[in-house]
Amino acid sequence: MAQAVGPAEYDAVLFDLDGVITATAHVHASAWKRMFDEYLKTRADSLNEPFRPFTEDDYLNHIDGRPRYDGVRTFLTARGIEIPEGGPSDPPDRETVCGLGNRKDELFNQVLESDGVEVYEGSIRFLRWVREQGMKTAVVTSSKNREAVVANAGLEEMFDTSVDGITISNNGLPGKPAPDCFLEAARRLEVEPKRAVVVEDAISGVAAGEAGGFGLVIGVDRLGVADELHRAGADLVVTDLGTLVPDP
């Protein structure tokens, strides 16, 4: 299995961050739920409507892997809720798409500062093995917290380039499931997509890798959604990237 991602076939491996390299996906999910539940409860009370909490399916279908404001917008649309777009400088208590997104970011950073970052050891082992084989590496994430998370985990020297939520915003790139962020990483590494591997745990991220025409898309199943990852376009699904490292 490891030979399928070796340097003879591929020149680079593009890694998602949260849920692939770092165990921060659950922190993001928890921050999203707290933010949306607080907002939805307040809205339901003010309109005298039943409160429908934010669910795991909501996270997987509308949030996971998308840029922050895209996630807010997509979820609210699914619930039939319309609020102003606002702007990136909106305070976290403002009822706008950007205000809600900023509130989620505030909650995430509180946990990051208090608890630090946990990494997946199997993923680190695979990342090191990839670099030892001479393949280039990139971290590709929709999060604007990429720099803080990578630094907290001590992984600054492990990637040749990065594309994150700030890159997406500054360059006007559509977020996942569009392939543009991965294609931008491949361009920066000067590799052809067909000679690059995408590693993702989010359904939207896997779909982005498939849409970009990448040579191999690996899904990392952290939530028991292997079938969904395959349907989204994963060529290979594993629960631990360490299993792709050959024995010494």
Cα angle, residue 208 at apex, residues 112 and 107 outer, rounded to 5°:
20
CB atoms within 10 A of CB 152: 18
Taking the C-alpha atoms of residue 30 and residue 87, their distance in angstroms, rounded to an integer, is 24
CB atoms within 10 A of CB 97: 22
Q: Tokens 């604007």 correspond to what residue?
A: 144
Q: Give the type of residue at 3.
A: Q
Taking the C-alpha atoms of residue 101 and residue 68, their distance in angstroms, rounded to an integer, is 6
Is 90 a catalytic site residue?
Answer: no
Cβ proximity of 191 and 136 under 8 Å:
yes
* Three-state DSSP class for residue 170: helix
Choose, from 11, 18, 90, 180, the residue flagged as catalytic.
Answer: 18
Give the pair of three-digit tokens for residue 82. Answer: 């319309």
80-89 contacts at long range (C-beta below 8 A, 24 or more positions apart): 81/43, 88/169
Is 18 a catalytic site residue?
Answer: yes
Choose, from 16, 58, 64, 180, the residue flagged as catalytic.
Answer: 16
Q: Give the type of residue at 139.
A: V
18 beta partners: 22
Cβ proximity of 220 and 122 under 8 Å:
no
Taking the C-alpha atoms of residue 196 and residue 120, their distance in angstroms, rounded to an integer, is 22
Catalytic sites, residue numbers: 16, 18
